[in-house]
Amino acid sequence: MNPANPVSVDAEPYSFDLVPEACALLIIDMQRDFLEPGGFGEMLGNDVSQLRRTIEPNRRLLSAWRSLGLQVLHTREGHRPDLTDLPPAKRVRGRSATCIGDAGPMGRILVRGEAGHDIIPELYPTAGEPVIDKPGKGAFFATDLHAILQNRGVKQLVVTGVTTEVCVNTTVREANDRGYDCLVPADCVGSYFPEFQEAGLKMIKAQGGIFGWVSDSDRLLAALM
């Protein structure tokens, strides 16, 4: 593979011309509290198996990406321990008995430095892979992600992670507005709600790819390897 030459990835609504040296893998919020049995997500009554099915496809994709020497970035949703970056509206939304910053099964919920806030061991970042700590749903809001991507010559993103309709969709929309072409491999993104998984992917690729392209890890790896 010559990293400067585009490879054609079978995708919807039409094929995606991926330029390896200009394309980063952006893995969204694969955090222990969202994915691990006994974490905050499960404590709220969610079926974490809906998210855990994304771990193996992400692991394969990440391993291939690393072996090709391509760029990888990770994000984590969370807040400062003193919660000064937590909007009061976000803290009280949902009227849940347990809020961001309260004690959870793996430390304080969505607080940086706590065990549950960290990335699952299967996809743990290695040296040189930036980790973007984001206070919101979109990875561009109140972070230095755009600056890092610009400095590294990134123009395309393969976006994976959780959840499809929340942080993945918000990030793809933010990226699209900043001029990035985004490809989402369907088996590498997950939602606790199957209907939102389906709708979240349809929204991205509808209207001629209004926010981006949808493919899957098999088709992506077939084009790259």
Binding segment (CB under 6 A) for ligand C5J, from list 82-90, 100-108, 161-169, 202-210:
161-169
Spatial separation of the C-alpha atoms in residues 223 and 225, rounded to whole Å: 6
Q: Give whichever of 111 and 224 is closer to ligand C5J, judged by the CB atom.
A: 111
To the nearest 10°, report the CA torsion of 10, 15, 17, 20: -20
Please identify which residue in 33, 36, 77, 114 interacts with ligand C5J, judged by CB under 6 A.
Answer: 77
Closest approach of ligand C5J to the CB of residue 102, in Å: 15
How far is it, in rounded angstroms, from Cα 15 to Cα 178?
Answer: 21
Residue among 50, 163, 197, 217 that touches ligand C5J (CB under 6 A): 163
User: Binding residue for ligand C5J (CB under 6 A) from 16, 29, 187, 217?
Assistant: 29
Q: Answer yes or no: are the C-beta atoms of 101 and 87 closer than 8 Å.
A: no
Residue 167 bears catalytic tag: yes
Short-list 196, 188, 71, 172, CA closest to 122: 188
Q: Which string of b and e fits 133-158 if b means at least 16 CB within 10 Å?
A: bbbbbbbbeebebbeebeeeebebbb
Q: Does 203 bind ligand C5J (CB under 6 A)?
A: no
Dmax over CA atoms of the chain, in Å, equals 54
- Comparison of 166 and 184: residue with beta carbon closer to ligand C5J: 166
**Active site (annotated) includes residue 155:** no
Is there binding between residue 139 and ligand C5J (CB under 6 A)?
no
Nearest distance from residue 164's CB to ligand C5J, in Å? 8
Positions of E strands within 35-82: 71-77
Return the closest-CA partner of residue 224 out of 21, 13, 12.
21
Choose between 93 and 178: whose C-beta lies nearer to ligand C5J.
93
162 binds ligand C5J (CB under 6 A): yes
| Residue 36 in contact with ligand C5J, rule: CB under 6 A | no
Candidate residues 11, 119, 166, 184; the one interacting with ligand C5J per rule CB under 6 A: 166
Let me know if 10 is a catalytic residue. Answer: no
**Marked catalytic residue, from 23, 133, 137, 167:** 167
CA triplet 119, 39, 85: central angle to 5 degrees?
A: 65
Say how many residues make up the chain.
Answer: 225
Catalog residues that contact ligand C5J under the rule CB under 6 A.
29, 77, 162-163, 166-167
User: Residues with catalytic annotation?
Assistant: 29, 134, 167
